[in-house]
Amino acid sequence: MALDDILAAFKDGAIEADEASRRIRASFYQNVGQPSGGHSTLDSDRLARTGASEVIYGAGKSAAEIADLVEALVGTGQNALVTRTTPEAYEQVLERTAIARYHEAASAITATVQEPAGADTLIAVITAGTSDAPVAEEAAVTAAFYGNPVLRIRDVGVSGLHRLLARLDEIRQARVVIVVAGMEGALPSVVGGLVEAPVISVPTSVGYGAAFGGVTALLGMLSSCAAGLAVVNIDNGFGAGYLAHKINRL
Amino acid sequence: MALDDILAAFKDGAIEADEASRRIRASFYQNVGQPSGGHSTLDSDRLARTGASEVIYGAGKSAAEIADLVEALVGTGQNALVTRTTPEAYEQVLERTAIARYHEAASAITATVQEPAGADTLIAVITAGTSDAPVAEEAAVTAAFYGNPVLRIRDVGVSGLHRLLARLDEIRQARVVIVVAGMEGALPSVVGGLVEAPVISVPTSVGYGAAFGGVTALLGMLSSCAAGLAVVNIDNGFGAGYLAHKINRL
Amino acid sequence: MALDDILAAFKDGAIEADEASRRIRASFYQNVGQPSGGHSTLDSDRLARTGASEVIYGAGKSAAEIADLVEALVGTGQNALVTRTTPEAYEQVLERTAIARYHEAASAITATVQEPAGADTLIAVITAGTSDAPVAEEAAVTAAFYGNPVLRIRDVGVSGLHRLLARLDEIRQARVVIVVAGMEGALPSVVGGLVEAPVISVPTSVGYGAAFGGVTALLGMLSSCAAGLAVVNIDNGFGAGYLAHKINRL
Amino acid sequence: MALDDILAAFKDGAIEADEASRRIRASFYQNVGQPSGGHSTLDSDRLARTGASEVIYGAGKSAAEIADLVEALVGTGQNALVTRTTPEAYEQVLERTAIARYHEAASAITATVQEPAGADTLIAVITAGTSDAPVAEEAAVTAAFYGNPVLRIRDVGVSGLHRLLARLDEIRQARVVIVVAGMEGALPSVVGGLVEAPVISVPTSVGYGAAFGGVTALLGMLSSCAAGLAVVNIDNGFGAGYLAHKINRL
Amino acid sequence: MALDDILAAFKDGAIEADEASRRIRASFYQNVGQPSGGHSTLDSDRLARTGASEVIYGAGKSAAEIADLVEALVGTGQNALVTRTTPEAYEQVLERTAIARYHEAASAITATVQEPAGADTLIAVITAGTSDAPVAEEAAVTAAFYGNPVLRIRDVGVSGLHRLLARLDEIRQARVVIVVAGMEGALPSVVGGLVEAPVISVPTSVGYGAAFGGVTALLGMLSSCAAGLAVVNIDNGFGAGYLAHKINRL
Amino acid sequence: MALDDILAAFKDGAIEADEASRRIRASFYQNVGQPSGGHSTLDSDRLARTGASEVIYGAGKSAAEIADLVEALVGTGQNALVTRTTPEAYEQVLERTAIARYHEAASAITATVQEPAGADTLIAVITAGTSDAPVAEEAAVTAAFYGNPVLRIRDVGVSGLHRLLARLDEIRQARVVIVVAGMEGALPSVVGGLVEAPVISVPTSVGYGAAFGGVTALLGMLSSCAAGLAVVNIDNGFGAGYLAHKINRL
Amino acid sequence: MALDDILAAFKDGAIEADEASRRIRASFYQNVGQPSGGHSTLDSDRLARTGASEVIYGAGKSAAEIADLVEALVGTGQNALVTRTTPEAYEQVLERTAIARYHEAASAITATVQEPAGADTLIAVITAGTSDAPVAEEAAVTAAFYGNPVLRIRDVGVSGLHRLLARLDEIRQARVVIVVAGMEGALPSVVGGLVEAPVISVPTSVGYGAAFGGVTALLGMLSSCAAGLAVVNIDNGFGAGYLAHKINRL
Amino acid sequence: MALDDILAAFKDGAIEADEASRRIRASFYQNVGQPSGGHSTLDSDRLARTGASEVIYGAGKSAAEIADLVEALVGTGQNALVTRTTPEAYEQVLERTAIARYHEAASAITATVQEPAGADTLIAVITAGTSDAPVAEEAAVTAAFYGNPVLRIRDVGVSGLHRLLARLDEIRQARVVIVVAGMEGALPSVVGGLVEAPVISVPTSVGYGAAFGGVTALLGMLSSCAAGLAVVNIDNGFGAGYLAHKINRL
């Protein structure tokens, strides 16, 4: 229930002052969980403010906490996305809401109450290697969750350039391009020099030794000779998908 | 001269095969500087490929090299932007082309042969502190160089939140928001939770001790609890302005 | 038994010289554990010197060593606090002293022989996210162990500022404020700019990639644009609670 | 002029609505500097909110900007403190306000419009070595600026313990203790185990090689075996003095 | 068999040229293990060259490899010390040589063929905390292996100085002092300022967060304000014990 | 089937245009795996382009993905090498192709369809210690996979120099020398000063504490006082073997 | 004078025993400089042992020391190369030997007594950007010093791939390829996937912020997805040129 | 004047109680410098406690402060050593005491009031390269200051091993060996495997790129495969010389 509706209902006498006050407060934040004040403070106003409802970062939360949060979101008519989660959490979520779906490759749960307004334009998600797939899937699931069509291009790293060049026409159809790469993270530099769309780079923790769990790819993307790459955190597929959505809806 | 025009001229007999070949090659890259092969290989095709002509990174180049490169760009009808440069380089550039202009606060040179197609929508450039100004100016000059109107909001860091909140309505007019901050780099997290537009975060080297020349701000922005921040390199005002332009023109 | 009492008893002839000597020495330190000299040297004088008895850091100690130390403290009439411990250690402690209590959310054991002199003024413990709870609980349990009333405010991170602003009046009731945050650790900067009380910042290891297990939050708090934040080690809830107590008792 | 006074004046008709509006806004923030909106946004409300007016961090600001800011603070009846500044800046400040004073050992400027309400209780500032003096002086000048009496104890590092022990009685007179140390930064651990007062540790960049410009001292203080040390940034004498004041005024 | 003896035997005709050659080679190095050339090249000459036979670093070696190496050393009449090993390896060693002994607290195996020439002077091994014990035991077992009497002083860290001061007379009896400490590693600085003997500092990986697994203690010891501390690697009890022996035998 | 053969077959009418097109494309890259486009994009052209077919990096790939890739390579007549793999993956590979062989010490799988053209000249693989063996074996297996004879020299680290010197004549027979070392990584510096052949240095993660999992050895090799060492990533036996092959075949 | 010649001369009676002894010793090492033993110990045997005479690393040496060393090398008939030197040192060198030549772009001095045996095969030196030139020149001058023909390809970084592709045929003529790149250091990965020759990667300190003075490029090259890149130290053009020579002469 | 003498004088009535008290206090510490309490607290008791009087670390101290401290030491009959100082400081010192001497190569000042009791046994100081000389000289001057004979061996790094081997007999005469090396710091590992004396390793900041100002050499020495190396801070020649003296006097 939006703020205007609450105020109208109050003016019309449909609800009393304390009920109006309770609803207004709830439209801004909501304590979730028991006991005493709850374990989380859900940001109910985020959709209105930023155009996207709050997303649940699953890591470090118990299955019960995740289920509480999904239930709270769905219960107020919002779509729910949980990232970095597990089949165990999914089971508990399913007991609360039957519409939940598990995305194994992305380790994500979605629960879609109402279909998002679909975008016409494409978001491309490109990986440098096979092992970058989980991060790429998190990006792709996130972009799709917000209603964006997604094109996946896999395993086209720079050590075999023709694999990338062969698919350049496809990639150029996209309005936003996400490039996911580990090791030295060179693929975004190459793609950034070849396309007109904004490029979002996602370093992954793929690699060993001097790859330092994604740090090398991260630093490489930040230092890229290709102008204007957007960089997100290591393995942050969600952040890339969310940013791509924010750009694609413009 | 575009590729199609060269081919047409060749077909029409206006130019011979070797002249056509020379011009085609030149439309892709151009050796700049003397002697023997030149010091630089200008990417003449970048405008066609990525929608923006090559930009000259001034650091580590001599004034003569910079002047050579500006002359080469302007000589082929392209606008030129030089970042991280000096008044000394500007003097040499001026001797080659009178249209060059020096932007002191941004340490940048621009030479505009033809006005860029202006955008209608606004790019906001926000700083956390007074000392972040040079980086913010590089971003603003870059965005303006590509024809974007720019709104500057200065010194509204998170330790005095009301300064930011007081200007939120203005900021929400922007289609893309650039946030420039040093020290702990917290401002983009706060702004990212308040606006709908994509937010580009620029860490600066402002601060001392544990600020580690911008590394702390950089890591903070990458680890932000606000979803989907785009991050660029430390002090990389140019990258932020360029990325903002790529998004704003969509 | 305090030093003055031992000396008085000696003067009165109630104890002999060697007994006096033994007791004086024991009032300063006490070898705990077997065999031969013991595994630990308990600092029995700390209460007199610093106003708080020694606290047992549980990590890296065996359950038996912990039980020995709690028994030694309780046996000399002091309250005991064990941090970073386990249910297994708690079981062994319980066999030695029935007054021990386990605080699951904080992974701490307390054994209170005599209630501490209660403070009137409040210590607030605020978290940025749900996953910061274990560290916050360690701080809260520590503060309560020393007799301070504690106010808990949960999950009010900077990406949804109104959650914090809505509870500002409550927070301003506190004489000392502890702020617990992971990821970019921006919350203390914002709180530090809003309240008059001293603010103690606790970085947590919550986050991934560029959060570097709490290092980013730590560096951010140290580099904060808000003046005069006190910072403690990553995940050091105990240190924050202890420092808050030292300030609150002034 | 405080908010209540402005509102009263408006109600009484002493000022018009737009004048009231201008004054209210100015009581919250003030744009300082020319041209167009100014280089800084002074947080005029900070005194009301946090109990201490804004302090000017001099590094990275021009002498003119510093003079503008001091003038703005003094012009509205607030005391001004500038840290990390230079004699050159002081000269420009003096031209604007004759009450300014330069503290050479601390590289700080103060301009005191009205004496602060003096505290009765003492803040001790202790250094490990002679070379830690500039940071200690910044802390001492800051504490004194806010009206606290300061006790200075110099060069009593842990490699000659008796120097510290000889002055322990003096140190125990203080209500808050600041310990300033470079190299391995061990002094706060020792002091923290000897006194009842809260201890604020300031790592300095004194040392070479593995001292890493203060990082080693910083990490040592954060990892201290002494419970509850408050740590601030490397060389952050101001932060320590400010925090000591916040605690001492309780 | 020493080089001189082999040559004498050869001259006397007791052995042939190829046997002499084989024995000479074996007095320098010995391939140990199967198949084909062996897994290790034992440095049989080390005793003659450096005054101490080769020691087996157990980590990363299989139980069988360790047993091979102990057998090879003992088989040539040398004493054997294995560090960083396990009860499993000990079992296999026992099958080869009954004189082996396992030191649980130090995770070490010794096999003493002939008692080392005992030293008269003492090596002290001091720990800052209970959790530093395993490293200290490795140092103590190593020192004892080479025939040095060892004095153990436990848990006398700098946050309770009197514990250390109370035992200073004992410590001053030692000709060489080993100090083992984790966290901020401050104890060697204090001891180094109090005793005349050379002090060997061993940082341990005890601590969390900013202790960085012993790095902070290591850097602190290297940057110590106490002159002339010898530092060894993190958790390197063996290195400290070996160095203490090299000094004590002078 | 090579590009020329496809073109000839097409010209001769042996295959149609779309079959020719399909084969040409397949000679460049091949999508491997199900569903929809596959999990990997095999670079079929690498042999023609770089002289060596693609090698499968096993880490982070499922056994099924590895089996798919080996099958695809072998199915097109190429030899397959899988590094950093497991017995489980080997079992699945064996089900697809009986010629596969598992190299336990190197954790590698090879499947040789046709023997590589053998080199006459030797590649030496030298280790500093017993624990460096797995990395050295990966290098040796790789070199042998490409048809190079390999000489293994084990456990000749710099703390017992004569072990190395005794085998110098053997080492000087090699045309390329690979030196594998952990801890401080000093062996390549010594070897590099003694031989004429190019020396490839491989740092290993052997060591503890300040060895930082191979970083110290890596940095030491990069900073070596011996001129012109080639360095590869930590534990990168494959890279060293591959580079040695590239040099040895010249 | 080689060892064999000295021995022959001695046998022939042309020189006495002590002269022979002096000459033999001098053929191995030579103390250079005054007073008392000299400042340097020239490795006169290096040419015989490694195929290349000692090279003088100029950084940190005085002009006089450099001149001494060049004189000593030239005086014994060897060619001399000084890297990282200055025009001032060159002046002093010129006073000792007129054949010295200064290479300004490489900051190197060469003094060629006798032309090296020229190689037939080419070494290519490729740079990613204009600012990489000084390092590339050091590599090129070194390679030429040892008699290798050098091909220079400039400013063909990955953000404008066609610049590289256009020159691929030239590059493929080289027997060894050196790739010099700063920033993210991606160029060697791309080149390594396109050519058959061994590729030597040289990271440069070109870039700012997250480029960390060449560390990012270094880590990227070590973590490259292209197999078997040889990596040398940051800015180590000499090492690359020397290694290329060692390979090219095979 | 020693404690016993003061007490005797007091008992004899030669001095009064307050004079005795003043002298006793002065025998422990001495405030040096003006105004008000002095800039330094000289540890007058250090000689009695540790066998060596306090040494003045010159870096970060003004010439006047250094002169004050030397004067205070010499004035109480102690020898003075100042490290990391300058000719300017020396000039001021000379004005106070004519016996001061400047050691240019070591950047040190000594003022010897009475010759130290000379040791019979030798301390060797070995460098890997010419550029390590300043650090080695600091070590040598320090060792000589305390009365130890010093043997200097220069420029015998591991890339030309025979230079070291040729001088091994000389080195083996030393009772303590100091090895000074930059770059990869491998020399101590080699020396440590060849001699019986304790080896003290000093990493220097010589090198570039991955040498990281001495960090690589430091880590290499700490991780050395040679047992029991003592390591001191980067460039800490003083610490090495002092430790060598402490060992040599045993």
* Best mutation target, E126, E155, E168, to test chain C (most C CBs within 10 A): E155
Instruction: Give the sign of the dihedral formed by CA E135, CA E138, CA E140, CA E146.
Output: negative
Q: Which of residues 207-246 of A touch F (CB under 8 A)?
A: 208-211
Going by C-alpha positions, the residue among H170, H193, H177, H112 that lies closest to residue H140 is H177
Residue B97 reports pLDDT greater than 60: yes
Look at residue C184 in the predicted model and tell me its pLDDT.
96
Question: Each residue of G187-217: pLDDT tens digit?
Answer: 999 999 999 999 999 999 999 999 999 999 9
Residue C11 reports pLDDT greater than 90: no
Residues in contact with H122: Cβ distance below 8 Å, sequence separation at least 6, in sequence order: H148, H149, H150, H151, H173, H174, H175
- Cα G40 to Cα A56, C4, G82, H160, H186: the distances in Å are 65, 70, 15, 12, 18
Look at residue B26 in the predicted model and tell me its pLDDT.
76
Read off φ and ψ for residue F241, nearest 5 degrees. -65, -40
Look at residue H36 in the predicted model and tell me its pLDDT.
53
Asked if the C-beta of D30 comes within 8 angstroms of chain B's C-beta atoms, the answer is no
Q: Between β-strands C230-231 and C176-181, what pairing exists: parallel, antiparallel or unpaired? A: unpaired
Chains A and B touch (3+ CB pairs under 8 A): yes
Of C45, C65, C236, the CB nearest to E162: C45
Of B128, B158, B219, the CB nearest to C216: B219
Min Cα distance E18 → chain H (Å) is 28
* Best mutation target, H127, H137, H155, to test chain G (most G CBs within 10 A): H155
Residue D36 reports pLDDT greater than 70: no
Which chain G residue's Cα is nearest to B47? G160
Of G175, G234, G242, the CB nearest to F250: G175
Residue A144 reports pLDDT greater than 60: yes
Instruction: Give the sign of the dihedral formed by CA G127, CA G129, CA G132, CA G134.
Output: positive
Query: Inter-chain contact G154–B38, Cβ cutoff 8 Å?
Result: yes
Which chain E residue's Cα is nearest to C49? E160
Look at residue H29 in the predicted model and tell me its pLDDT.
81
Question: Each residue of B6-30: pLDDT tens digit?
Answer: 888 888 889 888 888 778 877 788 8
Place of tokens 């050659």: E21
Q: Give the pLDDT band (50/70/90) at residue B37.
A: low
Residue A208 reports pLDDT greater than 90: yes
Asked if the C-beta of D73 comes within 8 angstroms of chain H's C-beta atoms, the answer is no
Question: Each residue of A55-90: pLDDT tens digit?
Answer: 999 998 999 999 999 999 999 889 999 999 999 999
Asked if the C-beta of H7 comes within 8 angstroms of chain F's C-beta atoms, the answer is no
Of H128, H157, H225, the CB nearest to F159: H225
Neighboring chain E residues of F206 at a CB cutoff of 8 Å = 60
Going by C-alpha positions, the residue among C242, H119, G49 that lies closest to residue F197 is G49
D50 vs B150: which has the higher pLDDT: B150
Place of tokens 């800015």: G235
Cβ contact A130:F61 at 8 Å: yes
Question: Each residue of G61-76: pLDDT tens digit?
Answer: 999 999 999 999 999 8
Residue F132 reports pLDDT greater than 80: yes
Read off φ and ψ for residue E155, nearest 5 degrees. 60, 55
Asked if the C-beta of B166 comes within 8 angstroms of chain C's C-beta atoms, the answer is no
Asked if the C-beta of D193 comes within 8 angstroms of chain B's C-beta atoms, the answer is no
Look at residue H87 in the predicted model and tell me its pLDDT.
97
Strand partners, C165: none
Min Cα distance C169 → chain E (Å) is 33
Look at residue G76 in the predicted model and tell me its pLDDT.
85
**b/e code G42-60 from CB counts within 10 Å (16+ = b):** bbbbbbebbebbbbbbbeb
Question: Each residue of H163-210: pLDDT tens digit?
Answer: 999 899 999 999 999 999 999 999 999 999 999 999 999 999 999 999
Look at residue E36 in the predicted model and tell me its pLDDT.
53
Question: Each residue of D167-199: pLDDT tens digit?
Answer: 999 999 999 999 999 999 999 999 999 999 999
Residue B65 reports pLDDT greater than 60: yes
Query: Inter-chain contact D39–B130, Cβ cutoff 8 Å?
Result: yes
Asked if the C-beta of G46 comes within 8 angstroms of chain H's C-beta atoms, the answer is yes
Look at residue G1 in the predicted model and tell me its pLDDT.
61
Which chain A residue's Cα is nearest to B174? A250
User: How many contacts (CB atoms, under 8 Å) link E and F?
Assistant: 56
Of C29, C61, C214, the CB nearest to E209: C214
Q: What is the mean pLDDT of residues B228-250?
A: 97
Q: Which chains touch A (3 or more CB pairs under 8 A)?
A: B, C, F, G
Residue D1 reports pLDDT greater than 80: no
Look at residue F35 in the predicted model and tell me its pLDDT.
56
Which chain A residue's Cα is nearest to B233? A222
Q: What is the mean pLDDT of residues A106-133?
A: 94
For residue H169, give the H/E element and its range. helix H168-171
Question: Each residue of F190-214: pLDDT tens digit?
Answer: 999 999 999 999 999 999 999 999 9
Neighboring chain A residues of B193 at a CB cutoff of 8 Å = 43, 46, 49-50
Q: Which chains touch D (3 or more CB pairs under 8 A)?
A: B, C, E, H
Neighboring chain H residues of G214 at a CB cutoff of 8 Å = 209
Min Cα distance H43 → chain F (Å) is 34
Percent of chain D with pLDDT strictly greater than 90 = 72
Q: Which chains touch E (3 or more CB pairs under 8 A)?
A: C, D, F, H
Question: Each residue of F32-59: pLDDT tens digit?
Answer: 886 555 788 888 888 888 888 889 999 9
Look at residue A209 in the predicted model and tell me its pLDDT.
96
Say how far apart CA A51 and CA B197 lie, in whole Å: 9
Packed helices G17-28 and G3-11: angle between N→C axes, nearest 10 degrees: 180
Query: Inter-chain contact F219–H184, Cβ cutoff 8 Å?
Result: yes
Query: Inter-chain contact H29–D166, Cβ cutoff 8 Å?
Result: yes
Which chain F residue's Cα is nearest to G237? F228
- How many CB atoms neighbour CB A13 within 10 A? 7
Q: Give the pLDDT band (50/70/90) at residue B103.
A: very high
Cβ contact G9:G15 at 8 Å: yes
Question: Each residue of D94-118: pLDDT tens digit?
Answer: 999 999 999 999 999 999 999 998 7
Question: Each residue of E123-151: pLDDT tens digit?
Answer: 999 999 999 999 999 999 999 999 999 99
Which chain H residue's Cα is nearest to D158? H43
Residue B51 reports pLDDT greater than 90: no
Query: Inter-chain contact C158–B189, Cβ cutoff 8 Å?
Result: yes
Percent of chain G with pLDDT strictly greater than 70 = 98
Query: Inter-chain contact C209–A233, Cβ cutoff 8 Å?
Result: yes
* Best mutation target, G155, G184, G194, G215, to test chain A (most A CBs within 10 A): G184
Weakest-pLDDT range from A205-209, C158-162, G126-130: C158-162
Question: Each residue of B168-219: pLDDT tens digit?
Answer: 999 999 999 999 999 999 999 999 999 999 999 999 999 999 999 999 999 9
Going by C-alpha positions, the residue among B43, E165, B147, A219 that lies closest to residue G156 is B43
B75 vs E176: which has the higher pLDDT: E176
* Best mutation target, H199, H205, H219, to test chain F (most F CBs within 10 A): H219
Neighboring chain G residues of H210 at a CB cutoff of 8 Å = 218, 233-234
Q: Which of residues 89-128 of D touch E (CB under 8 A)?
A: 128
Say how far apart CA G6 and CA H187 lie, in whole Å: 31
Cβ contact H54:H27 at 8 Å: no
Of C175, C193, C232, the CB nearest to D231: C232
For residue D241, give the H/E element and its range. helix D237-248
Which chain H residue's Cα is nearest to F192? H159
Residue G36 reports pLDDT greater than 60: no
In 3-state terms chain C splits into helix, strand, coil percentages (rounded to 5) of 45, 20, 40
Question: Each residue of H84-111: pLDDT tens digit?
Answer: 999 999 999 999 999 999 999 999 999 9
Say how far apart CA C246 and CA D175 lie, in whole Å: 11
Assigned token pair, E71: 């057998």
Q: Give the pLDDT band (50/70/90) at residue D35.
A: low
Assigned token pair, E87: 């009860």
Query: Inter-chain contact F130–E54, Cβ cutoff 8 Å?
Result: no
Read off φ and ψ for residue H225, nearest 5 degrees. -75, -10
Look at residue G52 in the predicted model and tell me its pLDDT.
85
Look at residue H42 in the predicted model and tell me its pLDDT.
85
Assigned token pair, H90: 């020396």
F220 three-state secondary structure: helix
Asked if the C-beta of G129 comes within 8 angstroms of chain A's C-beta atoms, the answer is yes
For residue B239, give the H/E element and its range. helix B237-248
Which residue type does G133 have? A
Residue F2 reports pLDDT greater than 80: no
Residues in contact with H177: Cβ distance below 8 Å, sequence separation at least 6, in sequence order: H123, H124, H126, H171, H191, H195, H197, H198, H199, H200
Going by C-alpha positions, the residue among D173, D249, D172, D187 that lies closest to residue D217 is D187
- How many CB atoms neighbour CB B12 within 10 A? 8
ipTM: 0.92
Q: What is the mean pLDDT of residues C190-209?
A: 96
Say how far apart CA C152 and CA C130 lie, in whole Å: 12
Residues of chain E with pLDDT under 50: none
Look at residue E1 in the predicted model and tell me its pLDDT.
61
